[in-house]
Homo-oligomer: A and B are copies of this chain.
Amino acid sequence: MTMDGGRRRGRRTADGLPRLPWRSMVNPYRPIEILSADQVEAIHRASLRILREIGVEVLGDRALDLLADAGATVDRASRNARLDDGLTEELISHAPSEFTLHARNPARDVVFGGRNLVFGAVGGPAFVTDLDRGRRPGNFADFQDYVRVIGSLDIVQQEGGGPLEPNDLPVPTRHLDMYRSLAVLLDKSWQSLGAGRVHVDDAIEVHCLIRGIDRDALAAAPSVMTIINSNSPLRFDGPMSDGLIEMALHGQPVVATPFTLAGAMTPVSLAGALAQQNAEALFMVALAQIARPGAPMIYGGFTSNVDMRTGSPAFGTPEYVKAAFATGQLARRYGLPWRSSNATASSVVDAQAAYESEMSVWGAIMGGVNLLYQGAGWLEGGLTASFEKLIVDSEILQMMAEVLVPFEVDEATLGIDAIAEVGPGGHFFGSSHTLERYETAFYRPLLSDWRNFETWQEDGARTATQRANGIWKQLLAEFVEPPMDPAVRDALDTFVIRRKREIAAG
């Protein structure tokens, strides 16, 4: 693991909120294997068969044309595209196994693939909530505040493409206001919107502006990233396919993510859910490679299950964890970086939200995930971005980051001399071995309260969620925008004004 900055255990606010410093994370653990090699191949072959015999319904004309030109069997009437095994395997082989995504601040670049691990923030909820104001539709003021808190947490290494929907902004130009806020408030990487060519092209323009480069340089060193979903089962809509192609043409990475809830959008059995997820993911990877061989891609897995009594989606379940382990193996089979999520179905930031999130996070990290998307803030099956959950998840992610730090064993850390010096029945608080190390020996929590019951009670008997409420408010109050060249900022504002005018003019 490489560290950035001099302090091993992070920065603090004026009032002493401890946070881990930015770090590039490498997962030192061998990934868990839930599938045998034969089982991986059986799922792979089933996926090829789905693409060969059943095919995908493709609603975008541009995608259908590209697929036909590349040799897929296309039925224009039903919009069905089928790929033979050789074509699928040949196309997906072009996607790179590792790539770097460049942030405005080069120290915040992130690497996807191999054993690299990146934590991303929540993206996409329609609602926002906090303990004071309750649940409400997403709006632009909350959007900006939420992004500011994300900016103050180095453990959240990538913003997720808008942590909540600013429903109070006009739809046609909303993405411009979102991009401008993300570009100004953050110097780490942020995701853009992928539904259609306009969202993608405007994101590309913004990134060229803030990095001071042209589109060729951006293709060589990408900055734009977005999630592209299939409409499971086996349907790929027009805006998503157009967005995918536009991203690929510009060499910008796409997270190809079937959103597959077993029992509803896929077979109820996990093997079938994965075979279908895998077919849809490979289809998106293949299409991107038709558009531009070598276009960077991430294999997105989001197989969970529904409550079969009610149809409600469930997350952080045992099935979710098992699907994550298996998806990691599939992604590695293809040499693709793998994305998973920190998900929960809970409606409130309680013990359930925490244990479901932990299930999701451990399943992903033990499975060798490369991008933990929706890593901090997601609540209620992704319908709501919670300010308090952002803090709870940041604590969870910080702890996991520390679990990945290699173990040191040497003469000094074994400390036999200290054990001899203290002797049977003594204590180590005053030993020189302790005094030399105690400030940096252990992870210092952002949120956890380790005080005894009486002290905790006298201080208000607050739950972790109540404490998180104070923490995000403090981080927000102390937020400082990362510096931006005024000329860049002017160019960005000029661009947004121009594009809004163009869009208004139709």
Contacts and interface: CB of A to CB of B under 8 A. Distances in A.
Interface of A: 28-30, 32-35, 39, 42-43, 46, 49-50, 53-57, 80, 135, 231, 233-235, 262-272, 275-276, 305-308, 310-314, 317-319, 321-322, 326, 345-359, 362-363, 366, 380, 383-384, 392, 395-396, 399-400, 402-403, 405-410, 412-416, 418-420, 422-429, 431, 433-434, 437-439, 441-443, 445, 447-453, 456-457, 461, 463-465, 468
Contacts of A321: 399, 403
A314 B365 CA distance: 23
B359 A409 contact: no
A425 B359 CA distance: 30
Contacts of A270: 407-408, 413
Contacts of A418: 267, 272
18 contacts: A53-B420, A267-B414, A267-B419, A267-B434, A268-B437, A272-B416, A312-B451, A317-B445, A318-B399, A318-B403, A347-B452, A350-B351, A350-B354, A351-B351, A351-B353, A351-B354, A351-B465, A352-B448
Given A354-B351, A449-B352, A50 B419 contact: yes
A305 B437 CA distance: 13
Nearest to A467: B352
A412 B269 contact: yes
Given A275-B414, A308-B439, A410-B271, A80 B233 contact: no
Q: Which 9 A-B pairs have the closest CB atoms?
A: A272-B415, A358-B358, A318-B402, A267-B415, A57-B424, A354-B354, A271-B413, A350-B463, A352-B464
B425 A57 contact: yes
Contacts of A55: 424
Contacts of A463: 348, 350-352
B403 A322 contact: yes
A464 B425 contact: no
Contact of A29 (B34, B42, B422, B424): B34
Contacts of A262: 441-442
B356 A449 contact: no
A15 to B, nearest CB: 15
A59 B57 CA distance: 77
A275 B415 contact: yes
Given A233-B426, A275-B414, 8 more contacts: A54-B424, A57-B424, A231-B425, A269-B415, A312-B452, A345-B449, A349-B351, A351-B468
B465 A314 contact: no
Contacts of A29: 32-34
Given A413-B271, A414-B271, A425-B233, A449 B346 contact: yes
Given A43-B414, A318-B403, A403-B321, A267 B428 contact: yes
A265 to B, nearest CB: 7
Given A354-B358, A392-B355, A416 B35 contact: no
A396 to B, nearest CB: 5
A234 to B, nearest CB: 4
Contacts of A346: 448-449, 464
B422 A233 contact: yes
A276 B407 contact: no
A450 B345 contact: yes
A359 B357 CA distance: 11
Contacts of A56: 424
A464 B54 contact: no
B234 A396 contact: no
B352 A234 contact: no
Contacts of A400: 318
